[in-house]
Structure 1
Amino acid sequence: MVSRMAAVPALLVHTRTTDYRHDSIPAGIAALRALGGFDVVATEDPAAFEERLDRYAAVVFLSTSGEVLTPAGRDRLAAYVEAGGGFAGVHAAACTEYDWPYYGDLLGARFDRHPALQPGRAVVEDHDHPATRHLPPVWHFTDEWYDFRTSPRGRVRVLLSADESSYDGGGMGDDHPLAWCHEQGQGRVFYTALGHTAGAYDDPDFRAHLHGGITWAAAR
């Protein structure tokens, strides 16, 4: 009898920037490759979205910024998610595709501003999710603590929120989601605002946070 190994699911990791570029992008790609369980295809080429996307278990926007897709690529990505493809956004993915209304609905919220990089506390709101079940109730982390133009609460399942009393410069008040998930059409979407520094991608808890969120999004 000849045994056949199941193909490893693939991730398309997009890291194109047309605005601010994070120095942590290479560390983020390396961390995703080190997680295991996925064949990571990293690209800066928007033409990759004009080809078949259904070969990928999920698409990941890793600290993208500005307008990063062509009109045809936008159509392909939307059709892919609506038909059951997974999508995950990390950190500056919320600073992306401001001119495409669908993307704002897909991600859940758009970046507004952030205070200085500093330590703070993230509060786990939902422990019954693979992105957060490994975390303590209060997670001490160092990041930029993104503010969003509006809170996505009510439209998404909030997993983590920021405790603005734990750092300086927060602008959203008591309702400050940081990580969430939701369904879009037949697809699944996960987003985390964390991941500014290269050091974050060496943190075991943050790696598990990414792995859990992406794995959830990739599960059809």
Structure 2
Amino acid sequence: MKIIAVIPARYASTRFPAKLMQDLGGKTVIRRTYEAAINCSLFDEVFVVTDSNLIYDEIVSNGGKAIMSIKEHESGSDRIAEAVEHLDVDIVVNVQGDEPFINAEPLAELLEVFKKDTDCKVDLASLMREITNEEEINNPNNVKVVVDQSNFALYFSRSVIPYPREKNVGVRYFQHIGIYAFRKQALIDFYSLPMKSLEASEKLEQLRYLEFGKRIRMVETEHVSIGIDTVEDLERARKELSIKY
């Protein structure tokens, strides 16, 4: 089973333009992320896929592998699907370009899902963590997921799901962590399918998979990644890096 990591890397960002090219301890954010993915030792190959010549040159000039997007894309899945369409791979892991402190343990757990899935019942695997703070639960920026008894995703939403009409029934709330491992065919299928109303309403691409019958196995984790979405996040990442090294 050939396993690769793909890092979708857009240059533009609404909240923090050019964040992937910002300095983080003497290297750019995207280079830190790429090297962290390599150092996980979980993947046969690691690629950055980007719409930016700057990002492409940053990776290639430092000995890495990068792919230029040919088309404009609405989502990370679309960008990755285009990149891997003609690659001979089985499993594709989506690593976020703005998360340079990659933790190998939850990624290994995602890959273990496919190694055990001998009947090929899983199309995607992704991560979730339990949240108990009411503010976190109600925050629409925290995407929630509900699962069945086998931890297959039933629905994702920015709203509170399930709705707590009765509070004393042992309901657990899970935040979706947007790290995915895909079977290649699931990505290719996604690429050819139209956006439907649920995805359009919630602005959550994972709903397209569910709307078209794909099965997403969720893996519970306690890992919380450090993403860089703002200037303040970058400063925290710099402090974290100084502690690590």
Instruction: Give TM-score, length-normalised by structure 1.
Output: 0.34
Instruction: Give TM-score, length-normalised by structure 2.
Output: 0.32
